[in-house]
Amino acid sequence: MAAIEIVVPDGQGGVRLDRFLAGALDTISRSAIQKLIASGRVQVDGELRRASYTLSAGEFVTAEISEAPVEATAQGAPLLSVLYEDSALIVIDKPAGLVVHQAAGQRGLTLVDALLAHRPSLADAGMDPLRPGIVHRLDRDTSGVIVVAGTASALSVLQREFRRRQVRKEYLALVHGTPSPARAAIEAPIGRDPANRVRMAVVPEGRYARTEYEVVERYKTAALLSIRLLTGRTHQIRVHMKAIGHPVVGDRVYGPTRDALEAPRQMLHSCRLSFEHPVSGLEMTFEAPVPPDMAQLIRRLQGS
């Protein structure tokens, strides 16, 4: 189950809840939306409302929808877990282990391959044939929400939002130890590691980077953090957490050589992404549930 949150704009105050959602989520029929409301899967500012409820500007409408697995038609292309899709964009819950696009030294199928198999017209979304529609990326072993533009014009708008830091990016991370203070911001420039050009590091000549974190749960040897990225540097969370002495659990590059928790991959999940729709201008938020491998490790830590 995934959640979509939409802020009611000034011009749509006074509109019925079902009509508002039918206009905002143009790939879901009004009858399906009414069923969502009737089943208690739609809330307005955290409260259940009827389909006929009259909205006010500034209210938050949250709808829980089932992730739709879409089978790609290209041979061997991975399944896509689509959180939302319309002509302008596709929002995916990316699984860990899947590379977003082709790069030097990378082999095998990618998220782009699956997207092109699902929607061939995506090939025209942008000038780079290796990265059509790609607005931002997640590391291979990072799971969670990623937005892909469906057209060249949508790509341009979304890229501008990211450049201007108008996009809210939130993650969950399991880290070794417990950071102190429990809530803080890390501001440290990131660039290529002079000792290993494959890795990134905090270096004086690097690019400005800011990461905000808050401890959600403490365990004996680890902690669960809620993290907000204010910038989008390569490996930013992983590098910043290493820099303060609390690397991400399971991180084979920036973590300890021997990981006592035996995590199957780096425990980093893009849980929430907020941005303005490139066509309608509506402020939309998408959430992806914690994946099974991360949830299992959290349960193990809670019981230890």
Question: What residues are annotated to the active site?
Answer: 139
Cα torsion angle, 24, 30, 34, 39, sign: negative
CA end-to-end span of the chain: 28
> Rg of the chain's alpha carbons, rounded to an integer?
20
69: amino acid identity, one letter: P
Q: Which of 135, 162, 251 is nearest to 199 (CA)?
A: 251
Q: Which amino acid makes up residue 74?
A: A
**Measured CA angle at 266 (ends 260, 269), to 5 deg:** 130
User: Sign of the CA dihedral 165, 166, 171, 177?
Assistant: positive
Burial of 287 (C-beta count, 10 Å sphere; 0-12/13-18/19+): buried
Which segments of 30-142 are extended strands (E)?
42-44, 47-48, 60-65, 68-70, 80-85, 89-94
Residue 98 three-state SS: coil
